[in-house]
Amino acid sequence: MSDRLSGLFFFLLAAGYVWLSAGYTAGFGDPLGPAIFPRVIGIPAVILGLSLLIWPRHDAVWAGRAGLLRQAAAITILLGYALLLEPFGFVPATFSAILGLGLLMGAPPLRGLLMAALAAPGLYLLFDRLMGLPLPLIGSWFG
Amino acid sequence: MDILSLLWDGFAVAALPINLVLIVAGCFAGTLIGALPGLGPVNGVAILIPLTFAFGLDATSSMILLSAVYYGCMYGGRISAILLNIPGDEPAIMTTLDGYPMARKGQAADALAISGVASFIGATLATIGLTLFAPMLAKAAIYFGPADYFALYVMAFATIGGISGSDPRKTLLAALLGLMLGTVGLDPSTGVARYTFGSFNLYDGFDPIVALVGLFALSEILFFLEEKAHGGGLVPPGRVFPRLTRVKEGIGASLRGSVIGFIAGILPGAGASLGAVMSYSFEKRLSDKGTFGDGDPRGVAAPEAGNNAASGGALIPMLTLGVPGSGTTAVMLAMLISLNIQPGPLLFERSPDLVWGLVAALYLANFVLLILNLPLIGLFTRVLGLPAWGLMPLVVAISYLGVYAITHAAFDLLVMVGFGILGFVLRKLDFSLVPVVLGLLLGMDMENNLRRALSISGGDFTILLQSPIANVIYLLTAGFLVLSLWLSRRGSAIPSRLETPGD
């Protein structure tokens, strides 16, 4: 089933990709133009996607309910970390992310808290102060 | 000797204080990353690349650091393979077969010493091979024209997934997906914005560095959350000092394993895992008297020498042709291209400092690694007791700060997470990630060379088949494909875990 779905996905993606390439035109001087290369790679992808849809071979085994929930939570944390790094500043955002991910991976709460409380300022000191990478200490919301 | 004087100059570069520091740091970090189950050379190198940019290291120093990490991982992978029966990285899978039984018999110290010496022999012989063969290949490759380069890229894509992927259609699709992602942004020769959907953030396209940190570091985190409990019982090292007689038993197997591993490393798309598998099975056929799988020292020495030699061999096609021989070298290629250094035959003419400095650094790295992995081995066995919940979140934080430090844009962090999710889903669906990275990396050059070739011919596509060099490359490609099909038939003994992101 998973092969059929990925085949369908690739088929639609590549078809859309080739279709969009028609809009890319340029003037003279370039025998190839910006549209040909996308077709050179898009058309085989359409065919391969279709073949995967028709002749699937492999079926993915996904994690159980608990595993999928953990993964969804991790993705939320990763997105939140990306969005909040600037507003929160490096240390608070990193503290939250390390704590959240640590707990997801089964850290005992107190030790996970300790780890995050040490690691977030520690990374800041190591990379910003010691090695000179500019990181936002306090975010725009607080500063 | 021409090579010797070049190598001498290389040692002058490698012996600069900054480079010496990087060699030691890289060897240490590499052994650590290799030893930790779940993190392998690709992840380690991917996490470090943004940092090398952020610190403004030049290309030579960056390559020295990353290669030291790469070599270090090959040494480190064996530690958890022997003590935990969990390979620290993929190429170490074969080491579990005889290494863990040895450890259970109370010979862990012997096994670690044998494999440490085997790693040293493999890596050193491969570095000697690199010194001798790379310049020869580079000399031949200097006559390449645009059509030949196009053929070379076709070879890179056709062969990279040869052995790793289960379904060749998926390898091709993964490469095409990478190529498609690579066309996003302003077209370099006409300035037309392609597939940007009006977002100015996409005008520069996807930064391969951001993409590969997401693909290799973040997807690993999602994978890790799949099964909760990792790790088993740590076998106590038993006696503290290895016995010299046991170490000697592994020497012959190490030498044979090195040669096989080196050849596997040079073949595009084969890499260190295959090197280890081939060395082990050859040694087993040669000298098994019922002791293999039951703690035979030769069964520990052969695959370790094999995977270390393969990682040295894999650097040859990467440096001389710009075609990586393994996943990790593909990631290193990304870094060189991002630093505006085009690996390939001209690299040896234009940047002899880089090439020979790197080669000399590899010799030094081997000695550092030998010291780290024999007398100081206790340091790393202690690290294995650390919990994953303490280490994995740090990997995430370092990935974020590295990417943020080079781009200063929250948008790129989101792109990185997006690639992380993509990488996870693709791996679950049995697509390998290395072709995606290659596509993203080489796409623009592939298109440029195609355009250059066609503007020479005035739009006639037959120019692609007129050059004798290109035809030889297409023939070689076909040969490699047949060879890898043959190997994958025979290599059905390879555990299915090998289908993770390459080495």
User: Would you kindly state where each structural domain of chain B is located, as residue ranges?
Assistant: 2-142+149-229+241-499
Q: Find out whether B64 and B356 touch, Cβ atoms under 8 Å.
A: no
CB pairs under 8 A between A and B: 188
- Least Cα separation, residue A65 to chain B (angstroms): 10
Average pLDDT, rounded, for chain A: 86
Q: Which of B150, B173, B406 to mutate to test the interface with A (most CBs of A within 10 A)?
A: B173
Q: d(Cα B426, Cα B188) in Å, to the nearest integer?
A: 29
Residue of chain A nearest B461, judged by CA positions: A32
Q: Spell out which residues of chain A touch residue B396, defining contact as CB-CB under 8 Å.
A: 78, 81, 97-98, 101
Interchain proximity B222–A74, CB inside 8 Å: yes
Contact by Cβ (8 Å): B402, B218: no
How deeply is A20 buried, as exposed, middle or buried, from its count of CB atoms within 10 A (0-12, 13-18, 19+)?
Answer: middle
Q: Which residues of chain B have pLDDT under 50?
A: 163, 229-232, 492-502
Cross-chain CB nearest to B417 (options A27, A57, A82): A82
Tokens of B79: 């530690």
More confident residue, A108 or B324: A108
* Cβ–Cβ gap B400/A97 under 8 Å: yes
How many Å lie between the alpha carbon of A25 and the closest alpha carbon of chain B? 8
Residue B186, strand partner residues:
B193
Which of A57, A85, A119 is opposite residue B413, by nearest beta carbon? A85
Interface test with A, best of B48, B172, B176 (most A CBs within 10 A): B176
pLDDT digits (tens, 9 = 90+) for A30-78: 666 788 888 888 999 999 999 999 988 877 888 888 889 999 999 999 9
Establish if A119 touches chain B: CB-CB under 8 angstroms.
Answer: yes
- Residue B305: what residue type? A
Residue of B nearest to A28 (CA): B190
Chain A nearest-CA residue for B214: A78
**Span B394-452, pLDDT tens digits:** 889 988 988 888 888 889 999 999 999 999 999 888 888 878 888 888 887 788 888 88
pLDDT of residue A100: 95
Residues of B in contact with A86 (CB under 8 A): 410
Nearest Cα of chain B lies from the Cα of A143 at a distance, in angstroms, of 18
Q: In chain A, which residues have their Cβ closer than 8 Å to the Cβ of B224? A: 105
Q: What is the crossing angle of helices B410-428 and B388-407, to 10°? A: 130
Amino acid letter, B94: M
Asked whether the beta carbons of residue A34 and residue B400 sit closer than 8 angstroms, the reply is no
Which DSSP category does A138 fall into? S
Say how far apart CA A95 and CA B225 lie, in whole Å.
Answer: 20
Q: How far apart are CA A50 and CA B132, in angstroms?
A: 46
- In eight-state DSSP terms, residue B197 is T
Of A48, A106, A119, which is closest to B169 when you measure between CB atoms?
A48
Angle between helices B59-84 and B352-373 (to 10 degrees): 30
Asked if A30's CB is within 8 angstroms of B190's CB, the reply is yes
Choose from A75-84, A129-138, B190-199 the range with maximum mean pLDDT: A75-84
Q: Which residues of A touch B173 (CB under 8 A)?
A: 10, 45, 48-49, 52
Give me the pLDDT at residue B465, please.
83
Q: How far apart are CA B239 and CA B241, in angstroms?
A: 6
Bin A140: left if φ > 0, else alpha if -120 < ψ < 50, else beta: alpha
Alpha-helical segments (H) within A22-108? 33-54, 65-88, 90-104
Per-residue pLDDT, averaged over A102-127, amounts to 91
Residue A99 is predicted with a pLDDT of 95
- A115 and B172 within 8 Å at the Cβ level: the answer is no
Contact A30 B451 (CB under 8 A): yes
- Please tell me the predicted confidence (pLDDT) of residue B234: 60
Q: How many residues are present in chain B?
A: 503
A21 contacts on B by Cβ (under 8 Å): 194
A12 vs A26 pLDDT, higher one: A12
Q: What is the structure's pLDDT at B364? A: 93
Nearest chain A Cα to B154, which residue?
A41
Closest residue of B to A84, CA-based? B410
Report which residue type is found at B447. E
Contact status of A76 with chain B (Cβ, < 8 Å): no
Confidence tier at A118 by pLDDT (50, 70, 90)? very high
Q: Which of A10, A116, A127 sits opposite B401 (nearest CB)?
A: A127
* CA closest to A31 among chain B residues: B459
Beta-strand relationship, B185-186 and B193-194: antiparallel
Q: Backbone phi, then psi, for A105, in 5-degree steps?
A: -85, 10
What's the complex ipTM?
A: 0.92
Mutate to test the interface with B, among A101, A123, A128 (most CBs of B within 10 A): A101
Closest CA to B443 of B157, B77, B54, B124: B157
Distance from CA of B394 to the nearest CA of A (A): 7
Distance from CA of A61 to the nearest CA of B (A): 8
pLDDT of residue B231: 46
Contacts of B240 (CB under 8 A, 6+ apart): B109
| pLDDT, position B1 | 57
Q: Which helix (H) or strand (E) holds A110?
A: helix A109-124
